[in-house]
């Protein structure tokens, strides 16, 4: 019997993540959205798409949060998207008023679920969900590092005309201007990227990664990225549902790791069936460690 994954927010990111989950046959999907008919309409479309692919999965849509009962995972994508000229921080108050009540519903109807937060500003929203649900930190994490790492790998692969599968990287820190790219982690077929590209070129790719979301917003004008964020969600969901113990970046509440406490930030974690099996302390240069602490201070300021 397939587990159930609930996605709260049936917009572009949520619906695309639902489609990818169904295509992989990973789970039955529940879509929830406050807009009347949105989740129901998209779930009906997805159900028919699954039939075309001969997939025996269930898809339902509702405005009722009780529909998430029994879910193995809950993914929160609901919230306002950025428009041109907006920063993730501009969304803080508005999205806190959306995400906070959703967290209350999760605690009530899916008290055993692992929660993946996607709504921006990501680090603050993850902390808010952790506080409002009262769940242990292992079961509340944010999706950002898989997205930022994917963007960096894409840009490196494009620059070198190689397959993204041959590129390894790790992006930590805050999802936004204070992301921390671990330069020593960027490798192409196991070789340090510094042996393939001059330092200014690497820095340029890192800067483009940092501005990756804004670049897409500026091009689309009326919406933000959704294919890559959905892919990042599904990468994390897959690791949890399949209990792979794969190590990937995710936003979690730190309890002394990297010298930080009581702040949610992107770090490498080992994902398992229970969520975060452990936080992995990766060696960082003094500059990278300082950058990680600067990101933590920014998140603390936003929390206040």
205-214 per-position pLDDT tens digit = 999 999 999 9
Beta carbons within 10 angstroms of residue 167's beta carbon: 22
Catalytic residue chosen out of the listed positions 19, 105, 175, 293: 175
Determine the length of the chain: 304
When pLDDT is averaged across residues 106-125 and rounded to a whole number, the result is 96
Give residue 86's pLDDT: 65
Among candidate residues 11, 233, 277, 221, the one with its CA nearest the CA of residue 143: 233
Give residue 304's pLDDT: 83
Q: What is the CATH number of domain 145-303?
A: 3.90.110.10
Give residue 269's pLDDT: 98
Quote the DSSP letter at residue 270: E
Among candidate residues 238, 234, 170, the one with its CA nearest the CA of residue 206: 170
Torsion sign over Cα 165, 28, 137, 296: positive
Asked if 71 and 18 touch (Cβ cutoff 8 Å), the reply is: no
Sequence-ordered list of residues with C-beta below 8 angstroms from that of 116, at least 6 positions apart, any chain: 73, 74, 75, 76, 141, 142, 143, 233, 236, 237
- Determine the distance from the C-alpha atom of residue 17 to the mean position of all C-alpha atoms in its chain, rounded to a whole number: 11
Give residue 126's pLDDT: 97
When pLDDT is averaged across residues 99-119 and rounded to a whole number, the result is 98
Give residue 55's pLDDT: 94
176 — pLDDT class (breaks 50, 70, 90): confident
Tokens of 60: 């339902």
> Using CA atoms, how far apart are residues 260 and 247, in angstroms rounded to an integer?
20
27-85 per-position pLDDT tens digit = 999 999 999 999 999 999 999 999 999 999 999 999 999 999 999 999 999 998 766 66
> Using CA atoms, how far apart are residues 279 and 291, in angstroms rounded to an integer?
18
Architecture of domain 4-142: 3-Layer(aba) Sandwich (3.40)
Q: Where are the domains of the chain?
A: 4-142, 145-303
pTM, two decimals, is: 0.95
Give residue 91's pLDDT: 79
When pLDDT is averaged across residues 143-157 and rounded to a whole number, the result is 97
Give residue 90's pLDDT: 74
> Using CA atoms, how far apart are residues 304 and 294, in angstroms rounded to an integer?
16
2-13 per-position pLDDT tens digit = 999 999 999 999
224-264 per-position pLDDT tens digit = 899 999 999 999 999 999 999 999 999 999 999 999 999 99
200 — pLDDT class (breaks 50, 70, 90): very high
Tokens of 292: 């990680």
Quote the DSSP letter at residue 249: E
The verdict on whether 175 is a catalytic residue reads yes
Sequence-ordered list of residues with C-beta below 8 angstroms from that of 73, at least 6 positions apart, any chain: 3, 5, 6, 27, 113, 114, 115, 116, 237, 240, 241
- The CA-to-CA distance between both ends of the chain, in Å, stands at 44
Give residue 89's pLDDT: 67
Among candidate residues 25, 23, 135, 24, the one with its CA nearest the CA of residue 76: 135
């Amino acid at each position: 019997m397939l587990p159930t994954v609930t996605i709260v927010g049936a917009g572009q990111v949520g619906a695309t993540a639902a489609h990818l989950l169904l295509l992989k046959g990973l789970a039955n999907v529940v879509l929830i959205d406050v807009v009347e008919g949105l989740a129901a309409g998209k779930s009906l479309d997805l159900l028919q798409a699954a039939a075309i692919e001969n997939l025996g999965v269930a898809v339902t849509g509702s405005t009722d949060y009780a529909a998430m009962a029994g879910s193995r995972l809950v993914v929160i994508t609901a919230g306002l998207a950025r428009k041109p000229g907006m920063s993730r921080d501009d969304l803080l108050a508005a999205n806190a008023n959306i995400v906070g009540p959703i967290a209350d519903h999760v605690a009530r109807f899916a008290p055993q679920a692992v929660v993946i937060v996607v709504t921006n500003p990501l680090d603050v929203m993850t902390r808010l969900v952790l506080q409002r649900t009262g769940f242990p930190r292992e079961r509340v994490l944010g999706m950002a590092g898989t997205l930022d790492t994917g963007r960096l790998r894409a840009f490196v692969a494009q620059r070198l005309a190689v397959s993204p599968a041959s590129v390894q990287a790790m992006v930590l820190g805050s999802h936004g201007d204070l992301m921390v790219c671990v330069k020593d982690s960027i490798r192409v077929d196991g070789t340090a990227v510094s042996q393939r590209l001059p330092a200014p070129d690497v820095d340029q790719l890192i800067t483009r990664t940092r501005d990756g979301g804004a670049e897409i917003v500026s091009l689309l004008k009326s919406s933000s990225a959704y294919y890559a964020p959905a892919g990042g969600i599904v990468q994390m969901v897959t690791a949890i549902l399949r209990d792979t113990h794969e190590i990937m970046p995710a936003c979690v509440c730190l309890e002394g790791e990297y010298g930080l406490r009581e702040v949610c930030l992107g770090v490498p974690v080992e994902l398992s069936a229970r969520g975060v099996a452990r936080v992995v302390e990766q060696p960082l240069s003094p500059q990278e460690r300082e950058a990680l602490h600067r990101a933590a201070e920014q998140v603390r300021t936003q929390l206040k």
